[in-house]
Chains A and B, each alone.
Chain A
Amino acid sequence: MASPSISNPRSLEPTLTPPTPGLAHGRDVHTHEHYLNTTVGWKSWLFSLDHKRIGILYLVSISLMFFLGGMAASLVRFNLLEPQGLLGAEAYNRSFTAHGVIMVFFFLIPSIPAVQGNFFLPLMLGVKDVAFPKLNLMSWYLYMIGAIMTIIALLLGGIDTGWTFYTPYSSLYANGAIAWVVVGIFITGFSSILTGLNFIVTIHKMRAPGLTWFRLPLFVWSMYATSLIQVLGTPVVAITLLLVTVEKVFHVGIFDPKLGGDPVLFQHFFWFYSHPAVYIMILPGMAVVSEIIACFSRKTVFGYKFIAFSSLAIAVLGFLVWGHHLFVSSQSPYAGMVFSVISFLVAVPSAIKVFNWTATLYKGSIRLQTPMLYALGFIGLFTVGGLTGLPLASLATDVHLHDTYYVIAHFHYIMVGAAVMAYLGGLHYWWPKMTGRMYPEAWGRTAALVLFVGFNLTFGPQFLLGMWGMNRRYHSYAPEYQVLNEMSTLGASIQLIGYALPLFYLLWSLKYGQIAGPNPWGATGLEWQTPSPPPTTNFEKTPIVTTGPYVYSAIETERAEEDANAAADAARMRVVQEEQNRNVEPTELI
């Protein structure tokens, strides 16, 4: 897909704002005061109440956790190269547990809300900060305490319960530093609750003048739905973990059958939070993608209200489907029937979103820059992930597929294929706003394509493994599954390159990237109407909103670009002719 425009310098140029040629390496352009240079020193960061700095703190910490979780995933894939397992059972079980715990609780759940939400929600609302800046900083500290406790547990040898912590295995039979991890997740949960609370209050109370609900960017709508789940769902997992502790300390029978408890009750509690948690991961991804698709096809998002309300529908229905994780756990078939039908129904708002995004492309002026590649990848992979959820929502087929690699493949398509792609897309889209500099476009596109290929090669074969009966969490497997496992590991290695590339070129761009200017994408939205990086108070003066969020016009963009190109061609011709007239050799100017 290496489009010819990579070599065409015009494609990198801003469309609606004049380029800033010749200043690519100059530090002198960062003359305005912004959130990065007003104060310096580590204290100014660790005690900052600025939502943008807290967003950056989150960015750094979740990136570290992402690479830790990625290392664990590499161990998992390495082990599965050979049917007998290369690491042995103990090490393998600890690896997949570390991978799951870190990726779910310490990367995916905070990812887009805590980084891009924190940074851009106040900017999109046209306000100075979130409603409760001190709570915001506290949420980061809580996250860090939880993360450090989990890292300590890893250093103590890790745990082997799986990220689901099913009782009675986790409470009575497993070894390892489980208490560290459980308390760590408990504390991190509060970070999630505080972020959600902050966002809900900010969205309700602090919008700029004229910014009515239906003028909000879809990012804000999705973030609102996400925050609702965080505030309503996370306490349940906290209570569950408390109950496990109460049972262990006071011997009250809750989950332990020996004390008269019910181990399946734990699964109900756990999934009551953890299924909505999947929507905490995917709704923000949908938020980012809505912004990117509109900007890079220069069109108003098709069906704005349908996308906005489908986010809320997903948030509400998402609370009522947890029982589809328990179809074979001895839950009553009639309960299973209810959970099955609601799980099928969640597919409707998801489908509405996919169709609307695709329709947005129609008659747009589409530019396939890095954020757009990620966004299009998101739509495709989310479609696959969503549709393969149907056999798991169906009672008949789930019996066979339950706890197999089919499930693994399905939720990785949602949580990596969709959520992580959206996160990376958003990171590239807003990188110039966050740092003031462009990332290198060619590298960006390369990494996006490498990731797409690597991802599908990793998880595509796992659908087949699952259909043919390979169970999850197996450190060794029957030899007939080996070929597909090798493909999967090869894909994982390719993905590794895809994740490492942005790490390098984004860091590189901090110093050497082209100066971005306030609005390199010609995007609408309040966050682009302030300098890059934004000043500490976000806006020089409070913006007044008079239009909806996506006032793009593909036709006008095309016309403007045509005119600009014509003018540039004319100018070039003039230069050439003048040079010919002077009988001078062509210079490097062209």
Chain B
Amino acid sequence: MGSLWPHLPFILPQASTTAPGYDAVFTVLHVIALFFTIGIFACIAFFSFRYRRGNKVNRVLPDHEGIALELTWTIIPLIILVSLFVWSTSVYFSSVRIPAGAMEVNVVGKQWMWKLQQPNGRWEMNELHVPVGRAVKLTMISEDVIHSFGVPAFRIKQDVIPGRYVQMWFQATRVGRYRVFCSQYCGTKHAIMGGYITVMEPADYQRWLATGNVSQSYVASGEQLFRELGCTGCHGPNSNVRAPSLEGIWGKPVAVQVPDEGNVTKTLIADYRYMHDSIVLPEKEIAAGYKPIMPTYRGRVTEEEMIQLIDYIRSLGVTSGTSNGASNGYVPENAANLSPVSPAQNANVNMGRYPDRDRVFQTAPGNNKMANVNMGRYGDRDKTFEFNDSGQKFTNRTGLSGNRSDAVGAPLCAPQVDAPSV
């Protein structure tokens, strides 16, 4: 289809579902601005001419002080401004939520390029191919400084920050090729950091997807990294180092101790931020009941590898393990301090079947808050867990196996086209 950018870009194409709403706000704001600008300029010009020095006109001022006038030009702008705010904010909020089932694309920004990877592992530099009419979710992080992923034709923009995942979505409505810019100053070649998004017909997109440089999916690469970096040595099922198992912690509450805040125990959700920090800043939040022995991987893992690792850990999230590793039969040494629930109870609890998403699980009388935290809420309503007799091995229908006697050899997980979103 070629470039949609004519030599003079008099009007940007409206190529996403967000664009029309934003453009409407933009137009109305400018009509109002134009009205007041012309009004003020006209008043200045008219008064300067009519009441110019020496012109014989009536200069007798009205007797009152003009409070009514003051109130008029205070209240009318106030009403206009507040209504504009309400309208513009509602337009924004109607498009800020990421729709469920959006196609997931990972974006890594680095000086001065974008790397974008499709759900099936196909990656591109400074190029992104997406099907028209499908919501696309971008999960973005930066390797170095702050960048910003902006697509003028879609009216979207989001700063991409080191050390934090940010998300943005769009749904293209017109087939074509659209410019991507880096909008946040990021150093010498900031101006050339950019690329294109190619919006294709779904059938063309499928054909395109089947060709080209498909690399491993993030989950598969992450699994490889998990072994290569030695994570399995401590976090693997057969390890005799006391470290929490990572199975099933994704999206669940975990108890951590924060040394910076005087070793208070806090409950966090195991999300991207928590995982990321645990890899590069292991001493920041320590899984409750464990010693702070994990070395930092700062500088040893790139942000892209970080995403792969986390996606791998995330893919283990379909099990019902807990953050303190109790499902693997390991009991932290000060477990008694944390929870009055015995290991056996604990295991039982974890192994149970929890079809009711909204139910906060109560284990036993006298169970304290900590135990609740560890037991968590079991949100995976649609996943069925099966348990074998030992109560420690399980599989589920997505094909992931929790029974890993051999940490290296057995296929840990099949590459997934759609990583389970939590």
Which chain B residues in 153-180 approach chain A with CB under 8 Å? Answer: 153, 155-159, 161-164, 166, 179
Query: In the docked arrangement, what's the CA distance between A259 and B95, Å?
Result: 34
CB–CB B36/A168 < 8 A: no
Find A468's partner among B12, B22, B74 (CB 8 Å cutoff).
Answer: B12
A297 to B158, CA, bound (A): 49
A263, A264, A481 pick with most chain B CB within 10 angstroms: A263
Whether A364 lies near B47 (C-beta < 8 A) is yes
Give complex CA distance A360, B294 in Å: 72
Interface 1/0s, chain B 37-61, versus A by CB < 8 A? 1001101100110011110011111
Known: A344-B84, A358-B44. A387 touches B191 (CB 8 A): no
Q: Mark A370-383, 1 if CB is under 8 A from B, else 0.
A: 00000010011001
- B192 interface contact, C-beta 8 A: yes
Which residue from B51, B85, B183, B191 sits with its C-beta under 8 Å from A394? B85
**Distance, CA A347 to CA B79, complexed state (A):** 12
Is the Cβ of A400 less than 8 Å from the Cβ of B152? yes
State whether the Cβ of A477 lies closer than 8 Å to any Cβ in chain B. Answer: yes
Given A257-B162, A330-B166, A166 and B185 contact (CB-CB distance below 8 Å): yes
Please give, as numbers and ranges, the residues of chain B lying within 8 Å of A396 by CB-CB distance: 21-22, 25-26, 88-89, 91-92, 95
Could you tell me which residues of chain A, from 235 to 290, have a CB within 8 Å of some CB in chain B? 257-260, 262-264
On whether the beta carbons of B44 and A376 are closer than 8 Å, the reply is: yes
Chain A residues with Cβ below 8 Å from B188 are 89-90, 93, 160
Restricting to A386-417, which residues have a CB under 8 Å from any CB of B?
Answer: 387-388, 390-391, 393-397, 399-400, 402-404
Residue-wise interface mask of B (82-101) relative to A, using a CB-CB cutoff of 8 A (1 in contact, 0 not)? 10110011011101100000
**CB of A173 closer than 8 Å to a CB of B:** yes
Residues of B within 8 A of A467 (CB): 12, 26
> How far is the CB of A251 from the nearest CB of chain B, in Å?
12
CB contacts (< 8 Å) of A474 on chain B: these are: 190-191
Q: Give min CB distance, B292 to chain A, whole Å.
A: 14
The one of B29, B159, B299 in contact with A397, judged by C-beta atoms closer than 8 angstroms, is B29
Q: Does A359 contact B (CB under 8 A)?
A: yes
Q: Which residues 330-359 of A sit at the B interface, judged by CB distance below 8 A?
A: 330, 333, 337, 340-341, 344-345, 347-348, 351-352, 354-356, 358-359
With beta carbons under 8 angstroms apart, the residue of B47, B155, B186, B277 that contacts A169 is: B186
Q: Given A162-B185, A169-B145, A329-B159, is A395 in contact with B92 using a C-beta cutoff of 8 Å?
A: yes
State the Cβ distance, B113 to closest chain A Cβ, in Å: 15
A260 to B158, CA, bound (A): 22
**What residues of A have a CB within 8 angstroms of the CB of B281 in the complex?**
259-260
- Report whether B60 and A363 are in contact in the complex, using a CB–CB cutoff of 8 Å: yes
- Contact-size category for B: 35 or more
Kindly state whether residue A47 has any CB partner on chain B within 8 Å: no
Given A333-B96, A354-B40: A169 and B185 interface contact (C-beta under 8 Å): yes
Partner of B164, one of A330, A340, A341: A330
- In the complex, the chain A residue whose C-beta lies closest to that of B192 is A476
Residue among A340, A344, A358, A468 with the highest chain B CB neighbour number at 10 A = A344
Residues of chain B lying within 8 A (CB to CB) of residue A391: 25-26, 29-30
> Contact flags (1/0) for B182-220 with A, using CB distance below 8 Å?
111111111110000000000000000000000000000
Known contacts A469-B181, A476-B192, A384 near B186 by CB under 8 Å: no
**B26 near A348: Cβ-Cβ < 8 Å:** no
How far is A246 from B59 in the complex, measured between Cα atoms in Å? 64
Do B60 and A355 touch (CB < 8 A)? no
Please, which residue of chain A has its CB at the minimum distance from the CB of B65?
Answer: A303
Cβ-defined contact, A297 with B51, below 8 A: yes
Give the docked Cα–Cα distance between A340 and B81 (Å).
11
Whether A348 pairs with B162 at a CB distance below 8 angstroms is no
Task: Give CA–CA (A424, B41) in the complex, Å.
Answer: 20
Does any Cβ of B come within 8 Å of A33's Cβ? no
| Assembled-state Cα–Cα distance A354/B36 (Å) | 11
**Interface range for A:** 35 or more
Q: Does A71 contact B (CB under 8 A)?
A: no
Which residues of chain A come closer than 8 Å to B88, judged between CB atoms?
340, 394-397
Contact in complex: A89, B84 (CB < 8 Å): no
Q: Nearest CB to that of B83 among chain A residues?
A: A344
Stretch at the interface among B2-10, B241-249, B346-354: B2-10
Q: Of B21, B145, B190, which contacts A168 at CB under 8 A? A: B145
Enumerate chain B residues within 8 angstroms of A399, measured Cβ to Cβ: 22, 92, 155-157
Interface residue ranges of A542-558 to B (CB < 8 Å): 554-555, 558
In the complex, which residues of chain A have a beta carbon less than 8 angstroms from the beta carbon of B82? 341, 344
Question: B331 to chain A: which residues have CB within 8 Å?
Answer: none
- Asked if residues B44 and A379 are in contact (CB atoms below 8 Å), the reply is yes
Interface residues of A in 275-312 (CB under 8 A from B): 297, 302-303, 306
Instruction: Provide the residues of chain B in CB contact with A85, threshold 8 Å.
Output: 191
Q: Is A155 an interface residue (CB 8 A)?
A: no
Instruction: Please determine whether B191 and A476 come into contact, CB atoms closer than 8 angstroms.
Output: yes
| Inter-subunit contact B51/A469 (CB<8 Å) | no
B47 A361 Cβ-Cβ under 8 A: yes
Query: Would you call B150 an interface residue if the criterion is a C-beta within 8 Å of the partner chain's C-beta atoms?
Result: yes
A213 to B37, CA, bound (A): 33
| Interchain nearest-CB distance for A314 vs B (Å) | 14
B70 at the interface (CB under 8 A from A): yes
Q: Are A402 and B191 closer than 8 Å at their CB atoms?
A: no
> A475 at the A/B interface (Cβ < 8 Å)?
yes
CB distance from A160 to the nearest CB of B (A): 7
Residues of A within 8 A of B186 (CB): 169
Tell me, in angstroms, the Cα distance from A388 to B156 when the chains sit together: 20
Contact of A478 with B by CB under 8 A? yes
Could you say which residues of chain B place their CB within 8 Å of the CB of A379? Answer: 40, 44
Contacts A361-B48, A478-B179, A554-B59 known; list 4 others, CB within 8 Å.
A344-B85, A347-B77, A471-B182, A555-B59
| Residues of A participating in the B interface, judged by any CB pair closer than 8 Å | 3, 5, 11, 85, 89-90, 93, 160, 162, 164, 166, 168-169, 172-174, 257-260, 262-264, 297, 302-303, 306, 328-330, 333, 337, 340-341, 344-345, 347-348, 351-352, 354-356, 358-359, 361-368, 376, 379-380, 383-384, 387-388, 390-391, 393-397, 399-400, 402-404, 467-469, 471-481, 483, 554-555, 558, 561
Q: Can you report 15 A-B residue pairs in the complex whose CB atoms are below 8 A from each other? A: A166-B146, A172-B145, A173-B145, A260-B277, A297-B51, A328-B157, A328-B159, A363-B60, A365-B53, A366-B51, A376-B44, A403-B185, A404-B183, A481-B9, A554-B51
- Going nearest first, the 10 A-B pairs with the smallest beta carbon separation are A257-B163, A469-B152, A387-B33, A361-B47, A474-B191, A394-B88, A395-B92, A169-B145, A403-B183, A400-B155
